[in-house]
Structure 1
Amino acid sequence: MPYVVTRSCCADASCVLACPVNCIHPAPGEPGFGQTEMLYVDPRTCVDCGACTSACPVDALKPHTRLTEAELPFLELNRAYYDDHPHEDRTPMAVIPPQRRIPAGELRVAVVGAGPAGLFAADELLRYPGVSVTVHDRLPTPYGLARAGVAPDHQDTKRVARLFRAVESQPGFSYRLNTEIGRDLHHEDLVRDFHAVVYAVGAATDRRLGIDGEDLPGSASATDFVAWYNGHPDHAADHYALDGERAVVIGNGNVALDVARILTADPDTLSRTDISDRALAALQASRVTEVVVLGRRGPAEAAFTLPELLALAALDGVDVLVEVRPEDLPGDDTPRTRVLAELAARTPVPGRRRIVLRFRTRPTEILGDDRVTGLAVEGTGPRAGEGAGTVEASLVLRAIGYRARPVPGLPFDRATGTVPHERGRVEPGVYVAGWIKRGPSGFIGTNRSCARETVSALLDDFEAGLLTAPADGGPVGSGHPEAVGLDGWRAIDGRERAEGERQGRPRVKLVDREALLDAARSGDRPRRTGALFSGRSSAGSTPAGGNAPA
């Protein structure tokens, strides 16, 4: 098997299109594309040319001869996929759908949210001549969860930023960062000043447990904890007591595994990443030696993906254990089941830090007076009524899912936490993409196909004459004084990466808003006219105006 995909990838089809023999699946148009956890290389037809490695933005593909011991299970994943999905009838990738033509003239679009969904939407729009896009975000920095959500020990996943930098360099692209809709600008301003507005604001809050003790000191959301160790400016000053020996993470999705991994990681290893300096100092002083990950359902229903489970199982110096009865393991002979069975059979090594995956257990109360001391739990499903007891812990983090906030000026379905839409269209001129459109599901690459559908609906409306022209041509270059443009972001990025180079790290993040704005001023100063906003991409083209949150 010449090449192997070794992690959850962006699934944006770059490698699929680069492959001259169409050996990477599922490809665009095939069942599962954009929904599978990863892509798979067919060992029967791969010709070992390496074209896929050059195209992959996150370095997920490796020759089989360069796999580490921890990556060897991905060989089995590839084999198992093609046993079930032989892909005998292959559509040649040279078949290209007709290129869409839009009416001549200017089309100005505001995108609200500078995360993957917003930037993929901008990329789709900028494929057409005459389109300009201004991407807004309430933070001084873009990239959303790709910057503030991906764990610092997953630097390979963060390489998706290369794609985003390419989007930023396109003619017609501009930023207006550090601007909040409802404070600095309003929905009505965007509707007035642009032909269309695409909201890609994500799901910024967490779900709550709804049990007693949830608001005690020492009980927090994993969403906030992840933002803290990633240097999110809203959480730079947060404090987490890591003075106890056990922490509990409630939930068993990928975020729960990320948090467990960071809490038990070797600080020396983390010191070579882009983790927040404040979080690194706290973890260096941490006394946590065990993290228990509680899942309400059984191992077959766990929300974590197989690549993340494999990465966890391969940790060096950390015991990863599964606390489950043999009869609770799924009866199928899949790679996922085999990994779980192997972990369940492991014997812990005395003195090692450990992560314990415990299934069919739910918390009923978080215990403590002035701070968390533990939580009461009970069994669920076939184990209901069993296993009731107490788990001692000084830190409890809930990782049971993200939830979107209502968007001012837009309808909102509180049951699903999304904005009602049809193919991304809320109404002609107003659209949604990403998690605010479909809920918190999918991977980074899922946002590309999601954005493509939304942009298609937007262009349909433009071609049908349903979009209203901006009033007086739009407020080009205007905005509130602290708005940050593309030059300002590049100055922030340059300063962080320069300091990272001095320390042997990818970057050293600026985590305080004022420090970020100070860095932005140094980049925007030569061109600014009373504001931090530099109006256009250095590649050219007049931008639209506006600004908002993500």
Structure 2
Amino acid sequence: PRPRCAALRRWPLVWLHALPVVVPAGLRRWLSSPAPAPRVCVVGSGPAGFYTAQHILKHHGGALVDIYEKLPVPFGLVRFGVAPDHPEVKNVINTFTQTAHSERCAYYGNVTVGRDVTVPELQRAYHAVVLSYGAEDNRVLGIPGENLPGVYSARAFVGWYNGLPENRDLKPDLSCDTALILGHGNVALDIARILLSPLQLLRKTDITDSSLAALACSKVKRVWLVGRRGPLQVAFTIKELREMINLPGARAVLDPADFTGLESAVKDAPRPRKRLTELMMKTALEKPVEMQAGAAAPREWGLKFQRSPLEVLPSADGSRARGVRLALTRLEGSGDSAKAVPTGDEEELECGLVLSSIGYRSLPLDPAVPFDSQRGVIPNSSGRVEGVPGLYCSGWVKRGPTGVIITTMNDSFDTAQSVLEDLQGGVLDASPFREGFGLVESILRSRGVRPVSFSDWQKIDAAEVARGKAAGKPREKIVDPAEMLQIIGH
């Protein structure tokens, strides 16, 4: 808790001369010390939010940072985006928890900025406001049939098996034998892996109970991952590809013809791209291990290149998806800048489950904040929001939904550095007193909103871990916000 006497620092110095002489010299010196500590507010408690807060706290000995989050629970995509079978990636939560425990940091969950409190209200309460609320939507395909039953966005599907409250009632239909994932990124591979993983592997993870039950009844045996461009343009990384290749009970189906002539093209490619392409080529050329006599046909997955979706095809009665019509493409240009151009040829792929993994998308938060809806980002320069002094952004809402956690860390440090420079250079005037949460709390109270503290979150955390232990898992996530609030007595 912050010392209440910090409020005394806002006394104008002129009052000191009117104080009775009995005021001890030490107190008089303390009262006439420099301006109050700058108050910074961060909106969003995912990696971007926490890394921004961490950097400011580390490099400014007096700054006070408050983090606001719309859900009762923190950590954003570390909790809701990282695959359940990748627990090591979630270790950053330990660092974020240390930040939240700083006496100069406070967490306020269950507060939706833009609805419960506006950005202009936050600007009145804080010297600097940093928007780090990520990408809450997904890009749409913009093709006929994409709203048919059986078609899901990767974001919703990942949210479903990871316990994101808004996706808890998704109930995807897994009764078909073939799934088609549009996209060649790590999220696409995550989904393919979850669909094809042996249940005994998933049971030891923090995947939600309801999605585990649905996967136990799944009939999906084959997953195609389809991309518009070629093997040299895939966006997934070698670690994820290797995991997929080594997945027990699943066979990789890659067409050697897709890799013809790539040996010379890959010679001058950067090392990560070269190693990744070589692994795909090696896998394509390997003869499948013969199944033991009597063994069930294995599950299988494959990569399809240079195909662009034109339409999701409806079943005969129009009630659901039965396949996807694809345009075959050729590449113009080379490397990462190569463009896929339709050749005029088409093909149909039969599948009963279609997952669109073509990217996440940020949404505007508040009419007071500039937003580039074309690019899905807040216009900014090094995190400084264009035309709005004292307003900043970091993470995906700043640069677009790309990169991994380390990318977001560096990006957030960059924004935090801009805040620190502006404080130091006098661009941000920290001398007027700002009430921070004191003002926000009264606004929230008037609107019937009760924030969740970090110690409240730790009660929810303890309940999840206890439930998980009973089931032999690291945790059993609570997916209903009302139940979370019940646990903490809200």
TM over 0.5: yes
Partner of 1:389: 347
Query: In 2, distance between residues paired with 1:291 and 1:163?
Result: 36
Distance 1:472 1:262, change over 3 A: closer
How far off its partner does 1:437 sit?
Answer: 0.8
How far off its partner does 1:432 sit?
Answer: 0.4
Contact 1:428–1:458 (CA<8 Å) still a contact in 2?
Answer: no
Query: In 1, distance between residues paired with 2:349 and 2:134?
Result: 34
What letter is aligned with 2:428?
L
Query: In 1, distance between residues paired with 2:429 and 2:304?
Result: 55
Contact 2:197–2:248 (CA<8 Å) still a contact in 1?
Answer: no
Structure 2 counterpart SS, 1:467:
coil
1:380 to 329, 337, 347: 329
What letter is aligned with 1:168?
A
What letter is aligned with 1:120?
Y
Contact 2:198–2:248 (CA<8 Å) still a contact in 1?
Answer: no
Query: In 2, distance between residues paired with 1:352 and 1:416?
Result: 42
What letter is aligned with 1:411?
P
Query: In 2, distance between residues paired with 1:371 and 1:328?
Result: 40
- Structure 1: runs of 5+ lacking an equivalent: 1-102, 522-531, 533-550
Partner of 1:410: 369
How far off its partner does 1:384 sit?
Answer: 4.8
Query: In 1, distance between residues paired with 2:240 and 2:390?
Result: 39
Partner of 1:247: 179
Structure 1 counterpart SS, 2:254:
strand
Asked which structure has the greater CA Rg, the reply is: 2
What letter is aligned with 2:324?
L
**Per-residue CA shift, 1:384-419, capped at 9, x if unaligned?**
547622111111010011111123121112232111
Contact 1:298–1:328 (CA<8 Å) still a contact in 2?
Answer: no
Partner of 1:361: 307
Query: In 1, distance between residues paired with 2:256 and 2:191?
Result: 21
**Per-residue CA shift, 1:346-384, capped at 9, x if unaligned?**
344561111111111112110111111111113111595
Query: In 2, distance between residues paired with 1:184 and 1:278?
Result: 31
Partner of 2:260: 327
Identity value in percent: 39
Contact 2:323–2:352 (CA<8 Å) still a contact in 1?
Answer: yes
Partner of 1:187: 119
Query: In 2, distance between residues paired with 1:265 and 1:472?
Result: 52
Query: In 2, distance between residues paired with 1:472 and 1:489?
Result: 27
Query: In 1, distance between residues paired with 2:437 and 2:202?
Result: 44
Query: In 1, distance between residues paired with 2:463 and 2:72?
Result: 14
Answer yes or no: is 1:271 the counterpart of 2:203: yes
Note the 1:417-432 alignment, pairs <5 A: 417-426=376-385, 427-432=388-393
What letter is aligned with 1:423?
S
Answer yes or no: is 1:345 the counterpart of 2:294: no
Partner of 1:444: 405
Partner of 1:540: none
Q: Which has the higher helix share?
A: 2
Contact 1:487–1:520 (CA<8 Å) still a contact in 2?
Answer: no
Query: In 2, distance between residues paired with 1:328 and 1:390?
Result: 27
Partner of 1:218: 150
Query: In 2, distance between residues paired with 1:238 and 1:304?
Result: 26
Query: In 2, distance between residues paired with 1:298 and 1:346?
Result: 20
The root-mean-square deviation of aligned C-alpha atoms, in Å, is: 1.9
TM-score, length of structure 2 as denominator length: 0.82
- Structure 2: runs of 5+ lacking an equivalent: 1-33, 268-273, 292-296, 332-340
How far off its partner does 1:259 sit?
Answer: 0.6
Query: In 1, distance between residues paired with 2:433 and 2:119?
Result: 14
Query: In 2, distance between residues paired with 1:496 and 1:229?
Result: 15
What letter is aligned with 2:357?
A
Query: In 1, distance between residues paired with 2:253 and 2:61?
Result: 55
Answer yes or no: is 1:122 the counterpart of 2:69: no
Note the 1:70-219 alignment, pairs <5 A: 105-127=36-58, 128-219=60-151
How far off its partner does 1:161 sit?
Answer: 1.2
1:502 to 450, 464, 470: 470
How far off its partner does 1:309 sit?
Answer: 1.4
Query: In 2, distance between residues paired with 1:519 and 1:329?
Result: 57
Query: In 2, distance between residues paired with 1:482 and 1:354?
Result: 49
**Per-residue CA shift, 1:317-360, capped at 9, x if unaligned?**
21122235142645325322221112212344561111111111
How far off its partner does 1:517 sit?
Answer: 1.2
What letter is aligned with 1:380?
T
Query: In 1, distance between residues paired with 2:413 and 2:469?
Result: 36
What letter is aligned with 2:103?
P
Distance 1:374 1:321, change over 3 A: same
Query: In 2, distance between residues paired with 1:294 and 1:442?
Result: 20
Contact 2:56–2:417 (CA<8 Å) still a contact in 1?
Answer: no
What letter is aligned with 1:376?
R
Partner of 1:370: 319
What letter is aligned with 1:401?
G
What letter is aligned with 1:378?
A
What letter is aligned with 2:389?
P
Contact 1:231–1:275 (CA<8 Å) still a contact in 2?
Answer: yes
How far off its partner does 1:297 sit?
Answer: 0.3
Q: How many equivalent residue pairs? A: 420
What letter is aligned with 1:352?
P
Query: In 2, distance between residues paired with 1:197 and 1:324?
Result: 53
